[in-house]
Structure 1
Amino acid sequence: MAPDDDASVRVSPTLDADTSFLLARASALSAAAGNTALRELGLKVRSYSVLALAAEVGPSQRDLAERLRLDPSQVVSLVDELEACGLVKRRLDPSDRRARIVVATTEGQGLFARAREAIAGAQRETHAPLTGKEQLALGDLLRRLAYADLR
């Protein structure tokens, strides 16, 4: 889509100028596309996010809640669901015996690899209105916003 084409789609003058609204709408569209892409794998965007962190980082449940900006009770439910499917395991954190770290099982690692490909396809479709350069710039800007509280 060329920049001039953007003027043809407007919701309201107030919302069109509201960055938070635009981020929320873009996020909803992206999550819906991700959920559709993950459906056949038995995942949703949130469970995929937990599985990704378990596969790549091995965080504690507290870290999961912080990184995903979810209530700890939501994280417990997501981990319970993934654990019941044999995709993750909780292990004692060697540095804090009160904490549990979440790690992907071999089956979870395999599903994560397939899910990562499904998400990449959904993102290509969702982000198609942007040029490659715009997609890279958007990713850079969103990372700065998304992780500003973790610095």
Structure 2
Amino acid sequence: MRGLHSDTGYLLYRLGLRSGQLFNAALQESGVRLRHYALLRYLATVEGAPQRELSARLGYDPSAIVGLVDDLEGLGFVERRPAPGDRRSRVVVLADDGRAFLRDTDRMSRHVTDQLLQPLAEDERTSLHALLLRISDPASTA
């Protein structure tokens, strides 16, 4: 019978838990959690996004996105604005305070990643990153 640690899916799950714990501990003082941070990081790559796109891209339940955006809007990190070309729709946009928060947390993010990947050599980290990209979004490699 195979042991638990021979199951790659389980190991990925455990790594995800550990990553989340480390990120949330590092972010604790800011009042932001990893889910908020991921949303901010995504918004930093686009000019604004409807909440349904945030849900699809981040893999979060649509009802969770509403709460996350509400939290971030309360902190002044994001704004809801009318969508270009459709004033009835709204998009979520990264605010200046959100950009500043991301700049201020860059070092923290690198530190957490370094903690997680400490046992790996630099070339192994690069390979792992490429492999994770490939399996996390198969459509991006098509």
Shared fold (TM-score greater than 0.5)? Answer: yes
State the TM-score, normalized to the length of structure 2: 0.90
1:49 alignment partner in structure 2: 38
Kindly provide the CA deviation profile for residues 47-73 of structure 1, in whole angstroms up to 9, marking residues without a partner as x.
Answer: 001111222212221111011111100
CA apart distance, 1:98:
4.5
How high is the sequence identity, in percent, across the aligned residues? Answer: 36
Q: Which amino acid aligns with 1:115?
A: T
Unaligned runs of 5+ in 2: none
Higher relative contact order (CA 8 A, sep 6+): 1
Q: Quote the residue 1:35 is aligned against.
A: 24
Shift of 1:85: 1.0
For 1:23, the equivalent position in structure 2 comes to 12
Q: Tell me the distance in 2 between the aligned counterparts of 1:96 and 1:148.
A: 31
Q: How does 1:1-151 map to 2 (within 5 A)?
A: 13-57=2-46, 58-149=48-139
**Which residue type is aligned with residue 51 of structure 1?**
L
> What is the CA RMSD across the aligned residues, in angstroms?
1.7
Name the CA distance, whole Å, in 2 between partners of 1:147 and 1:95: 29
Worse-matched range after superposition: 75-84 or 39-48: 39-48
Instruction: Please list every run of 5 or more consecutive structure 1 residues that lacks an aligned counterpart in the other structure.
Output: 1-11
CA–CA distance in 2 between the matches of 1:95 and 1:25? 44
